[in-house]
């Protein structure tokens, strides 16, 4: 299924259908190994029930949609929604291989898609809601998809310095490349919802009630030293910096490897992460 999105998130749509989406689709197994424990906590907070209809916003390559589909069972339904065609291709292939018929996927922008009012019992997202150009409008639109009393649960990042799995490689690289320009305050991106008060205000203004944010702190990892290094060099701000400064690549690789090495153990490289588990209700 495909929805023609309006221009509100045009930059994000372009990015996630080009380099961003292709990279995530290629590295999805390592990325999912890293963030799966955090998504499972958000699913636990949602408490999906057999027979429910659930909307999975920013479903990516489909891991959470399939997890939710297992929870709702054959009598329920899960619709995974994303703007990234490359990642949705992976998601559809996985669902077909697993013969999970209660999961389907929709290419659409959650900020503008005309949802059928009250079509879902619950909304979920694992790191898929921080990229809206107008987050209040986006969440107001998402809320229309929920029945009265419908639940929402999602997980989003707190600040960059609290998330060593991203901050540590970047800090090591800055000895060899110029620092990136500071991000615009509250701009769409991984850390757009780091400010708890701002996020609560957005959800309340969008019409949600019973808004709660619970901090989640735990070490996460994507594999051994070389696997972690490979992902750090391609994903997030460090990957963008290397694309701008390819002449520094060898020096950066050595520096990041040495920064990661002390954190390798029996479970691979494990680094601190910091997120919010957010829950809310549609009145």
pLDDT tens profile 128-159 = 999 999 999 999 999 999 999 999 999 999 99
- Rounded to the nearest integer, the mean pLDDT of the chain is 94
Q: What is the DSSP letter of 121?
A: E
- pLDDT tens readout for residues 20-73: 888 889 999 999 999 999 999 999 999 999 999 999 999 999 999 999 999 999
DSSP 161: T
**What is the second-level CATH architecture of the domain 7-159+188-221+273-281?**
3-Layer(aba) Sandwich (3.40)
- Of the candidates 63, 146, 57, 69, the one whose C-alpha atom is nearest the C-alpha of residue 107 is 57
Percent of the chain with pLDDT over 70: 97
Segment 189-193 mean pLDDT: 95
Residue 143 φ then ψ, to 5°: -65, -30
CA–CA gap between residue 281 and residue 212 (Å, rounded): 10
The tokens for 149 are 């009393």
Beta-bridge partner residues of 214: 277
Portion of the chain with pLDDT greater than 90, in percent: 83
Q: Which of 225, 221, 220 is nearest to 260 (CA)?
A: 225
Question: What pLDDT is stored for residue 8 in this prediction?
Answer: 58
pLDDT bin (cut points 50, 70, 90) of residue 94 is: very high
5 pLDDT band (50/70/90 cuts)?
very low
Report d(CA 169, CA 72) in Å as an integer: 39
Whole-model pTM: value is 0.94
Residue 209: its pLDDT value, please? 98
Q: Are strands 271-281 and 209-220 parallel, antiparallel or unpaired?
A: antiparallel
The mean pLDDT of 193-201, rounded to a whole number, is: 98
């Amino acid at each position: 299924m495909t929805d023609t999105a309006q221009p509100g998130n045009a930059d994000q749509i372009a990015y996630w259908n080009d380099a961003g989406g292709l990279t995530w689709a290629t590295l999805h197994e390592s990325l999912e190994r890293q963030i799966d424990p955090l998504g499972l906590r958000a699913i636990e907070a949602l408490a999906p029930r057999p027979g429910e209809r659930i909307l999975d916003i920013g479903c990516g390559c489909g891991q959470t949609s399939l997890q939710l589909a297992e929870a709702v069972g054959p009598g329920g339904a899960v619709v995974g929604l994303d703007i990234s065609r490359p990642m949705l291709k992976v998601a559809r292939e996985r669902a077909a291989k697993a013969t999970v018929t209660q999961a389907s996927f929709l290419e659409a922008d959650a900020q503008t898609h005309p949802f059928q009012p009250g079509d879902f019992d619950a909304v979920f997202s694992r790191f898929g809601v921080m990229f809206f150009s107008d987050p209040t409008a986006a969440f107001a639109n998402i809320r229309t998809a929920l029945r009265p009393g419908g639940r929402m649960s999602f997980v989003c990042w707190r600040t960059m310095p609290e998330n060593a799995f991203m901050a540590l490689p970047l800090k090591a690289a800055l000895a060899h490349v110029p620092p990136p320009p500071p991000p615009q305050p509250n701009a769409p991106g991984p850390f757009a919802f780091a400010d708890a008060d701002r996020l609560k205000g957005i959800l309340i203004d969008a019409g949600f009630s019973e808004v709660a944010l619970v901090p989640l702190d735990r070490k996460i990892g994507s594999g051994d030293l070389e696997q972690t290094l490979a992902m750090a060099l391609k994903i997030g701000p460090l990957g963008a910096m290397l694309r701008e400064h390819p002449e520094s690549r060898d020096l950066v690789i050595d520096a990041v490897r040495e920064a990661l090495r002390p954190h390798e153990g029996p479970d691979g490289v494990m680094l601190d992460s910091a997120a919010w588990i957010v829950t809310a209700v549609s009145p």
